[in-house]
């Protein structure tokens, strides 16, 4: 395989990744070819030493997904991370069987936190007219407790989700032995 064929195959398999990342990766691999040529090595030998561009591109795309999660935690990067973990087999059938239960548990936490928040608002607005014993102080304390409970449940849900996604990112880095994507440290 020639330098041009290798770089074209690598660029094609990286399609869909951020253009700046694709350009940087292709430039790094072009530099490997330049260094090898300066050392008197044939392009086919350099390409063979670098490996299959399709496999490299898949690993680099995976690395980009993990890095995207680590640098900007967003719903999109979380979905891409989970998809990558599923594609790599990190998230297997056992986890997929647990997903409905985990999703249901998170939904219960979210519904409970919203219910508590609704109770808090109701107590603040209509608590005195219902005739709750203890007066305004009791209603204020109860509303504060409901508000605190709803915030705690929402934060607990978020914490569980973030822990799970961080675990997936760490597993992908370790299990797949991802290369560093910083300039000068590519494979």
Q: Which of 19-33, 65-79, 99-113, 133-147 has the highest mean pLDDT?
A: 19-33
Establish if 84 belongs to a structural domain.
Answer: no
Q: Which of the residue ranges 48-62, 78-92, 122-136, 148-162 would you say has the lowest mean pLDDT? A: 78-92
pLDDT at 94 (0 to 100) = 58
Which residues lie closer than 8 Å to 164 by C-beta, 6 or more apart? Answer: none
pLDDT at 12 (0 to 100) = 93
Establish if 82 belongs to a structural domain.
Answer: no
- Domain range for 130 is 93-176
Helix (H) or strand (E) holding 7: helix 3-13
Give alpha helix (H) positions in 39-134: 43-50, 53-71, 75-88, 93-130
Query: Looking at the 3D structure of the chain, how many domains does it have?
Result: 2
SS3 42: coil
**pLDDT exceeds cutoff 60 at 140:** yes
Establish if 12 belongs to a structural domain.
Answer: yes
Establish if 185 belongs to a structural domain.
Answer: no
The answer on 99 and 67 residing in a single domain is: no
For the segment 12-27, the average pLDDT, to the nearest whole number, is 90
* End-of-domain residue from the set 73, 101, 116: 73
pLDDT at 186 (0 to 100) = 40
* End-of-domain residue from the set 43, 73, 103: 73
**pLDDT exceeds cutoff 70 at 180:** no
Establish if 111 belongs to a structural domain.
Answer: yes
pLDDT in tens, 48-72: 999 999 888 888 888 888 888 888 8
Higher pLDDT, 87 or 138: 138
Instruction: State the pTM of this model.
Output: 0.61
């Amino acid at each position: 395989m020639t330098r041009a064929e290798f770089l074209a195959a690598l660029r094609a398999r990286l399609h869909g990744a951020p253009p700046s990342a694709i350009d940087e990766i292709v430039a790094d691999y072009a530099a490997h070819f330049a260094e090898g040529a300066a050392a008197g090595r044939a392009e086919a030998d350099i390409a063979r030493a670098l490996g299959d561009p399709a496999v490299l591109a898949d690993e680099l795309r995976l690395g980009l997904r993990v890095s995207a999660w680590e640098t900007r935690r967003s719903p999109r990067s979380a979905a891409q991370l989970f998809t990558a973990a599923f594609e790599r087999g990190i998230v297997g059938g056992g986890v997929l069987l647990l997903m409905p239960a985990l999703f249901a548990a998170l939904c219960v936490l979210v519904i409970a936190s919203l219910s508590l928040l609704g109770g808090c608002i109701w107590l603040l607005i209509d608590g005195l007219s219902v005739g709750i014993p203890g007066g305004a102080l009791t209603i204020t304390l109860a509303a504060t407790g409901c508000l605190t409970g709803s915030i705690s449940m929402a934060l607990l849900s978020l914490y569980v989700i973030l822990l799970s996604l961080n675990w997936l990112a760490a597993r992908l880095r370790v299990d797949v032995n991802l290369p560093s994507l910083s300039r000068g440290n590519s494979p």
